[in-house]
Every structure is written in structure tokens, then in C-alpha cells.
Amino acid sequence: QTFEKLLIANRGEIACRVIKTCKKMGIKTVAIHSDVDANAVHVKMADEAVCVGPAPTSKSYLNMDAIMEVIRKTRAQAVSLNVSICCSFLSSLSLQASEGVTFIGPDTHAIQAMGDKIESKLLAKNAKVNTIPGFDGVVKDADEAVRIAREIGYPVMIKASAGGGGKGMRIAWDDEETREGFRFSSQEAASSFGDDRLLIEKFIDNPRHIEIQVLADKHGNALWLNERECSIQRRNQKVVEEAPSTFLDPETRKAMGEQAVALAKAVKYSSAGTVEFLVDSSKNFYFLEMNTRLQVEHPVTECITGLDLVQEMIRVAKGYPLRHKQADIPINGWAVECRVYAEDPYKSFGLPSIGKLSQYQEPLHVPNVRVDSGIQQGSDISIYYDPMISKLITYGSNRAEALKRMEEALDNYVIRGVAHNISLLREVIVHPRFVQGDISTKFLPEVYPDGFKGHKLTDLERRQLLATAASLYVAEQLRSQRFLGTPRIPIAKSKRSSWELSVHLGDGIYPVAVSKHGSSFSVEVDGMKLNVTSEWNLASPLLSVTIDGTQRTIQRISRNASGETSIQFLGTVYKLQILTKVAAELSKYMPEKAAEDTSSILRSPMPGTVVAVSVKPGDMV
């Protein structure tokens, strides 16, 4: 027996995740939504849904008065919250507590203490938790920031006290960068959290980001549920996570777990939470922050422990003691999570993309795959909310098996209508450094110093792509000659069985010879013959192709009448042009469309709001 009705003050995949567990526990759910989210998946999944305002989060999902009114109107007994509103929600919650409404999460003291990075660091020190050297107070202005940074020693990290999710964070290597970082971080902190207070601490170069999942009840019991490795990041936001970590030995894991539990007990924590650490190459670890919520990456912990963390949070909120002891918490197998974003990975490892999902198909047919998403085919990815499409999780008995499943799942994930980061995710999980576990928070800039450019084809992979594209072209030509039904005029069947083609890929033009043998094609590229077989279901967004015994899952993204086609191969989309030999010879007479002259245009690389214009007419630039 827990609650009859629970209100979820959140949206997207995490709201859907909470609803799934509520259904399993027999709890009715109330969703809130903005007007643009009226047809969102979480709204359809919930038993009731109420609109709380227009699209901007400050007027809907962070609109305290509207949410409190919904709680009263729907008579919800419990509330599961969006982390951003926790602190500003506290005064309202204390009023509701007298009316019998329970918050699914820790109490107000723990949220306030851990939500403030300055206070949380002092509490961690008192609880004998290792902390990063730095200034424990609030930095007043840019001059004080420079003085403190000089005392600590460069490089330093300037952080928003109330921050999270990589917002309001800057690394400074000298006085000038400290002044600039102070200005930008305080602006970003004020707009994101309504709190412009900053702190400064020593920046640990080349660390790993490893966090410990904790679970505590209202009876003084607390457990650590092993670690999550979250070192693959861009702009201080996690991209790939896994559990357990390849780096930790049992002794370090135990020491980190015990310090995390000590901190949870010090603030009388009661719910699921995450204690984040930076770990250097010598396995020294330092407290970073505590997140008083269900983390985005919680599924990997659920996979290796077998626990449902949402269910545990609801039980704890009702006042039940934990069902498990520390010795009961296992590490069974290995789990990997990739955050699939509507982002262009070729721009700064991912700048947001907006649009409608014209086609969407999750790879749930692949064994041991879990997809936590809050969207469906036809959903809009808008400028108002986080561009996350889903969390893709794979599980295996060991790391190699989990990574192999992830590779297969990414190849089988169909997303059309927006740019997405599947190509980057796939490159990361197959990279030799990642496979060996040689990673840090600098992995992406170190591996791709000039930015991400997509998969670089080997000679064999290039031949496989050319052979597949040529076979696809011929299969389509043959399909276009077939007539369904019985035509009134008899048609002479084509006896043609070989084709001479010219394929343009990148900077090269390759002659390709194709001959048909039953349902397979023999393709000659670079003087080498490859055998390509498939069911050639051209209506399917996914095409399983076998090239000389090697199975590949490809996706044809687009094609046009001039032979141009885009194929997703090994995660990356390649543009090709396939012409017959005659058409290729004649194409040199075709006029080429001139590229747009953009020399006098300043074009934004992503949708957004102009917050400052730093020049005026007459300035020297």
C-alpha cells in the first residue's frame, strides 16, 4: 500500500519512466503539460492530464502557482518533481505537507543543502568526504574572482552555486579568462536557476567522472548501489554512461561508496540520490556534487542491480524501510547507456536541431535493449525543451557483449526529420581507446581535436559501401520494371543481368560492374569482386545486407531522380551519386548549381535567442 494518485511535475522520458512504475504499482497518475505538449507521450500515458501554461518552462513546468492548483484540484496524494523546481517549490510543499501531500524525494533540508554547491562542499568536508581544493564562499565580483583564482592556482573551474547539467560552468586558465568566465557564468546561472552566485575551485585536469548511486530511507538506513562511469562528455554534459566502471578496483569502489553513504547520512537523506566524484589517474577521488533526484543515467544501475529505483523512491516516501542490505547489492553483468539527442554532432560535438520526427522506430527487436523515451513518430523537437530523443540502454553478461549490442542497436535505430548524434555515439563505442577503457572527461576533444567528422572508411569499408549502394540501385531498377496484376498488353521481360555503373563518393568517382545471380549480386570494385545478398525490401527503413559473409544494417535516408542517394552505413550518413556509364559520360555537360555566397551573411549555427549584441555602428572590429 503506497499512494492512490501521484502527480508528475515533469515531462519527456523521465515522466514516462515514472508513469511505467506507477502503473506496475497500481498508482493512478496525473501529468502536467504546456500547451505545445498537449499531444506528448507522457500526457497520453497518464490517467489524467492538466495544462499549466504556455511553452516556456518558466510559465508552465516551473509555474509554482499553477502546479499547486493542479495538486489541489486533482487531489493527488504525492508529487514527483522536476529537479529545477525543487528548491523554489519548498515553501509551497511545506504548506501542502499539512494537507497530506507527500513529496517523492528527500526532505527539504537535504535538497537545500545539496542543491547549494557551497553549502554541500562544507557539509562534505565535515562528513570526512574528500573535496577539491577551492574557495568555500560566494565570489562577489570579477576582481575577487581573479584574486581567488591566483591563490588557488590556475587552471580553475568557475561554477554556478545552484547549477547542474553543465550550465553556468567555465574553465579559466588566466586572469582574462577568469573575468570573462565570471561574467558569462553569472549570466547563465541567473537565467537558468534564478541564482547568480558562483564558486571557484581547482580544475582537475584530465579526470574521470564517476558517480555513486545511493538509496536511503527515513529510518537511518542507507546503501550505495555501485558506480556509474560518466566520463564521455561534451560541454560538461554526459553523452555515454556505463556501469560498472572499468577503472575502479573493489577497494576504491568500497571507499567511494562508504563516503557517499556518509554524506547521505550527514544530511539525513531519504530517497534515491547520486554523489558525483572526480577521479584522477592515481585513483584519488574528490567530491563534486550531490544530485537529489533520479539521474538521467539511472537505468544502467537498474540493469546491474535488478532494482527499480522509482519503486524504491515511492516506498521510501511512504515511510517503508529499505528491503535490502549492502551485502545484497550485486554487480550482475554490464550496462551501457547512450543519450540520443536531436543534435548535429558535426558542430561542437552537438548543437541542437529542431523539427518533426517524420519517421521513428526504436530498436526494441534487438535482444537486451531498453529505450527510455518520451517521444513518438510525429513528435516535435522544439526550441523550448532539452533536445533529448531517448536514452538507449544495452545489457550484456560482460562489457564486450553490452558494447556489441549497443553497436547493433544504434545501427537499427530509425530517426528521420531532425539531425541526431547516432554517428558520434557509434564512433565512441567502437573507438579502440573507449573499448580499452582508456577514457577521461577530455576524451572527445582529444580523440577529435579538429571536431567530429564522422566515420573514416577503410579501403574495405569503402568497397563494401560502393558495392551495397550499386546493388541497391540495380535492385530498384529491377523493381521499377515489374508490373503488378495482369497487364492487357504483353510485356517482353528484360533479360538484362549486368550493369556498368559510375559511383561518386566523396572526392572519388569509381567504376562499378554489377551482375545478378538469383537474389544476390556480384559486384566488382577496384578490381575486387564482392558478393552482396539481401531480401531487398526497399520499402523498409532498415536493410540487412551481407557482403562476403559480413552482415551490415544500413538505412537509405534519401534518393532523387538524378542518382543522388544518402546511405547510413556504420552510423555515418554518406552522400553518393550512382549513374549508368552513359549518364556519367554525359553528366560533364550538365551545368553545376553555384554554391550560395555566404561571405556577407552571419548565420546562427543553432536555433536560440539573442541575449547580447556586443558591437554598435562605428566600432572597429
**Per-residue pLDDT tens for 169-205?**
889 999 999 999 998 888 887 877 777 788 888 888 7
Q: Among 290, 397, 318, 257, which Cα is nearest to 102's?
A: 318
We report the CATH number of the domain holding residue 100 as 3.40.50.20
**Are 225 and 178 within one domain?**
no
Residues 216 and 164 in one domain: no
CATH of the domain at 292: 3.30.470.20
- Looking at the domain assignment, is residue 487 inside a domain? no
With a cut of 90, say whether residue 88 has pLDDT above it: no
Number of domains in the chain: 4
Higher-confidence position of 164 and 58: 58
User: Average pLDDT of the chain?
Assistant: 90
The answer on 167 and 287 residing in a single domain is: no
For residue 382, count CB atoms less than 10 angstroms from its CB and return exposed for 0-12, middle for 13-18, buried for 19 or more. middle
192 with 224, same domain? Answer: no
Q: Which of 188, 229, 289, 343 is flagged as catalytic? A: 289
**What is the value of pTM for the model shown?**
0.86
pLDDT of residue 135: 80
Do 292 and 418 fall within a single domain?
yes
Query: Which CA distances in Å does 437 have to 232, 399, 421, 433, 568?
Result: 11, 10, 21, 6, 27
| Co-location of 337 and 235 in the same domain | yes
Looking at the fold, whether 198 and 216 belong to one and the same domain comes out as: no
CA angle 531, 532, 534 (to 5 degrees): 145
Residue at 125 is within a domain? no
Same structural domain, 237 and 361: yes
Tens of pLDDT, residues 242-294 = 999 999 999 999 999 999 999 999 999 999 999 999 998 889 899 989 988 88
Residue 471 belongs to domain spanning: 459-479+497-588
Is the pLDDT assigned to residue 436 strictly greater than 90?
yes
Averaged pLDDT for residues 339-367: 94
In terms of domains, do 391 and 254 share one?
yes
pLDDT digits (tens, 9 = 90+) for 550-593: 999 999 999 998 899 999 999 999 999 999 999 999 988 988 88
| Measured distance CA(570)–CA(573) in Å, rounded | 8
160 and 214, same structural domain?
no
Give me the residues paired with residue 242 across strands.
229, 336
CA distance 309 to 25: 13
Residue 60 lies in a domain: yes
**Is position 289 annotated as part of the catalytic site?**
yes
How confident is residue 162, by pLDDT bands cut at 50, 70 and 90? confident
pLDDT score, position 153: 85
Which CATH number belongs to the domain containing residue 191 in this structure?
Answer: 3.30.1490.20
387/243 same-domain check: yes
CB 442 within 8 A of CB 231: no
Is 619 part of a structural domain of the chain?
no
- Residues 555 and 176: their CA atoms lie apart, in Å, by 48
